[in-house]
């Protein structure tokens, strides 16, 4: 799992790439929370997440909870098919409050 971060004024953008699974959740969580501490609004781009399980979903839920607690905004964007399917399976689309869009892979 790779995390590419970009900070623009009070906004931060995290691009998650690879597997967001139990094998990576423990190392990803502190990075996401640390980035959230540094910004007022966070965008987590999920288009390059190839696999996600409940541990990965928990990282996203914790990020949302921390954002709410701190009075910050969290947006999940560019959902990969794997992410969209898991969010749909657990009925969490309204919890995150973002439009669930899949990034087109056409050239």
The CATH number of the domain holding residue 55 is 3.30.750.24
Residues spanned by the domain of 89 = 2-96
Q: Evaluate whether residue 55 is within a structural domain.
A: yes
Q: What is the pLDDT of residue 106?
A: 46
Q: Evaluate whether residue 107 is within a structural domain.
A: no
Domain tally for the chain? 1
pLDDT of residue 1 exceeding 70: yes
Residues in Cβ contact with 21 at an 8 Å cutoff, skipping those fewer than 6 apart: 51, 52, 53, 55, 56
**Distance separating the N- and C-terminal Cα atoms of the chain:** 25
pLDDT of residue 105 exceeding 60: no
Chain segment 53-87, per-residue pLDDT in tens: 999 999 999 999 999 999 999 999 999 999 999 99
pTM: 0.88
Q: Evaluate whether residue 106 is within a structural domain.
A: no
Chain segment 13-47, per-residue pLDDT in tens: 999 999 999 999 999 999 999 999 999 999 999 99
Q: Evaluate whether residue 77 is within a structural domain.
A: yes
């Amino acid at each position: 799992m790779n995390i590419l971060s970009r900070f623009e004024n009070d906004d931060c953008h995290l691009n998650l790439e690879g597997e967001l699974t139990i094998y990576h959740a423990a190392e990803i969580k502190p990075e996401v929370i640390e980035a959230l501490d540094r910004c007022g609004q966070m965008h987590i781009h999920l288009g390059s997440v190839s696999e996600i399980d409940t541990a990965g979903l928990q990282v996203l839920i914790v990020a949302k909870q921390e954002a709410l607690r701190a009075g910050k905004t969290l947006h999940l964007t560019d959902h990969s098919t794997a992410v969209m399917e898991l969010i749909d399976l657990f009925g969490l689309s309204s919890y995150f409050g973002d439009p669930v869009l899949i990034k087109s892979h056409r050239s």
